[in-house]
Structure 1
Amino acid sequence: MSQVRIFTDSTCDLSAELIQNYGIEIVPLYVIFDDQSFKDGHNIKPDRLYHLVEQTGKLPKTAAPSPADFEKAFEPVIHSGDDIVYIGLSSDMSSTIQNARIAADRFPSGRVAVIDSRNLSTGIGLLVLKAVQAAQAGKNSKEVSEMIEQSTAKIEVEFIIDTLEYLHKGGRCSSVQHFFGSLLKIRPLVKVIDGAMTMTDKVRGKRDKALGQLLDNALAQKDIMDNEFLFITHSLAAEEAAFVKEQIEQHTKVKHVYVTETGCVVSSHCGPRTVGIVFAKK
């Protein structure tokens, strides 16, 4: 009897332990500095990314896996007789989903389902874990896909960004905004809304204040949280992530609160000391 195998891409930001324990297959995106091309999570991690940004003074380019990359990843699983559900980075942010669909069309109809997460980071990761649970419970590819497609709009993702430097370098923040934002110590809150990153608030002052706002925003929704999984996702902010995890565990009934680190693609847009809270609504 065929099984359903769950695939995703490196922007899911799941830990190596979760990926291994749940048998998740990862197709990496590319991180490109001039003539150097790296596979996200394979031969480059955020600490090296930040070193190269400091060294070169500019952000890398990022690129989706090609259709050939997806075809190569999918082929052994299809030939083994199993079906695939792939859940990937929002199509508003990347051509990853488009390329996965091109690859899926090269296999018999119905063997590879491609789902646009309408999200990034562990907003994807949370959907992936739900898909794995459904597959392990015996649901077929169509049933898993339908469940995940109904869940995409229920995912809440919010980050506090510590510095405007990376938004400025990436062209998402003007020089004037960068200057006055840095001068006034403004830290933006960013949410994923309708598949895209959207700045929803600007917290002025100490970092603790911004972190408190992020936590308050999540706890204000504790009564409508799905209590199965919640992620604290960070980039070089382990102590603060641990504090947020402790607060979430104290004030909610979530069973599994995971702390994970952002990969290079997300880190290249948000910068160091970013902290995010990700959960599903009931």
Structure 2
Amino acid sequence: MKIAILTDSNAGIDINEAKELGVYLAYTPIIIEEETFYQEDGLTKEKFYAELKSDKNITTSMPSPGDIMDRWDKLLDEGYEQIVYIPLSSGLSNSCHAAIQLSEEYDGKVQVVDNHRISVTMRQAVLDAIWMADNGKDAKEIKEALEANAFDSIIYLTVDDLKYLKKGGRVTPAAAALGAVLNIKPVLRTVGENFDAVDKVRGSKRAISKMLDYTEEYVNKLLENNDTSKIRIGAAGTFEKEEDANSWLEQVKERFPNIPDIYYDPLSLVVGVHTGPEAAGIGVSLILREE
């Protein structure tokens, strides 16, 4: 059966990687001073972060229902028999629930996965979906497997400047102001729903160290019932300089020398709206595929 795998910008898969993987992207709008841009259509990292740091009004929106249905219709017209759509976690956006409702008009040909993931863990779900499709699973079976596996993942994140979380209503203005004065850095965690603060420390180095400690605890828990071949770790961030991204990746590799294929994946610009520049993240996934 010919199955199309479709995801959105929040998975951090850019248009070139999508072509290499053979997956499709639903574009997530970024609105800068009421003008709409898309990362996939050429909004560069340099332009985006320059605009963000200039304190322009920048927001995100979910893909429009019309655009989503157009993508589905086009894929089906191109000869795909079924579609697996993996959007951003329903705990972080309404786009998943909206897509589920839209899919009811497609008689089971479109399966929307409520995967409860974002960024590097969402990327791993996409890779699992590709593997399952290549190994004979139909769209419903892929959806069921991904949803059963959804919470076998975690992300930790720290940001450099709380003002971007303040803009998105994630922290109060008073907390952001106090954090700036005292150099307080939050350590945030998501297991598929909202990002929750699990720690607050002074300075970026301590925040990074805490993130690695928490991640190590989670990995050790997974290793009680799984071997290292089933665990994937992705370092992520909104670093503007390549050397900073490489430095973060090396720190993660040094902490987890026995985990294979640790990689760095830039956080999408859509996520960057809410984290600001110089954020660092790390995600752990228990994968379904055999490699």
Normalization by structure 1: what TM-score?
0.90
SS of equivalent to 1:118? coil
Q: Which residue of 2 aligns with 1:134?
A: 132
Pair 1:236-2:214 in alignment: no
TM-aligned CA distance change 1:52 to 1:245, over 3 Å: closer
Q: Specify the code of the residue in structure 2 equivalent to 1:66.
A: S
Shift of 1:247: 4.0
Residues 235 and 252, structure 2, Cα contact 8 Å, conserved in 1: no
Structure 1: stretches of 5+ with no match in the other structure: none
Deviations 1:22-80 (A, max 9, x none): 2111101111123311123323234322222333x244121111111011111122231
Q: Specify the code of the residue in structure 1 equivalent to 2:217.
A: A
Q: Which residue of 2 aligns with 1:245?
A: 249
Q: Which residue of 2 aligns with 1:75?
A: 73
Q: Which residue of 2 aligns with 1:60?
A: 58
Matches for 1:216-227 after TM superposition, within 5 Å:
216-223=213-220, 224=222, 227=229
TM-aligned CA distance change 1:165 to 1:46, over 3 Å: farther
Shift of 1:240: 4.0
Residues 219 and 248, structure 1, Cα contact 8 Å, conserved in 2: no
TM-aligned CA distance change 1:93 to 1:5, over 3 Å: same
CA distance in 2: counterparts of 1:40 and 1:127, whole angstroms:
21
Q: Specify the code of the residue in structure 2 equivalent to 1:234.
A: G
Deviations 1:98-140 (A, max 9, x none): 3322432332x11100012212222211111111111112211
Shift of 1:194: 4.6
Pair 1:273-2:281 in alignment: no
Structure 2: stretches of 5+ with no match in the other structure: none
SS of equivalent to 2:155? strand
- Supply the RMSD in Å over aligned alpha carbons: 2.1
Q: Which residue of 2 aligns with 1:95?
A: 94
Q: Which residue of 2 aligns with 1:155?
A: 153
Residues 92 and 118, structure 1, Cα contact 8 Å, conserved in 2: yes
Residues 90 and 196, structure 1, Cα contact 8 Å, conserved in 2: no
Q: Specify the code of the residue in structure 1 equivalent to 2:33.
A: D
Residues 59 and 166, structure 1, Cα contact 8 Å, conserved in 2: no
CA distance in 2: counterparts of 1:89 and 1:66, whole angstroms:
14
TM-aligned CA distance change 1:193 to 1:249, over 3 Å: closer
Percent of pairs with identical residues = 25
Structure 1 outlier segments of 4+, above 4 Å? none
Q: Which residue of 2 aligns with 1:213?
A: 210
Aligned length: 278
CA distance in 1: counterparts of 2:258 and 2:142, whole angstroms:
26
Residues 58 and 169, structure 1, Cα contact 8 Å, conserved in 2: no
Q: Specify the code of the residue in structure 2 equivalent to 1:90.
A: S
Which has more strand, going by share of residues? Answer: 1
Q: Which residue of 2 aligns with 1:255?
A: 260
Deviations 1:154-201 (A, max 9, x none): 111111111112112223222221222111111111111451111211
SS of equivalent to 1:105? helix
Pair 1:35-2:22 in alignment: no
SS of equivalent to 2:283? strand
SS of equivalent to 2:235? strand
| Structure 1 stretch displaced more, 223-232 or 63-72 | 223-232
CA distance in 1: counterparts of 2:90 and 2:80, whole angstroms:
28
CA distance in 1: counterparts of 2:275 and 2:146, whole angstroms:
27
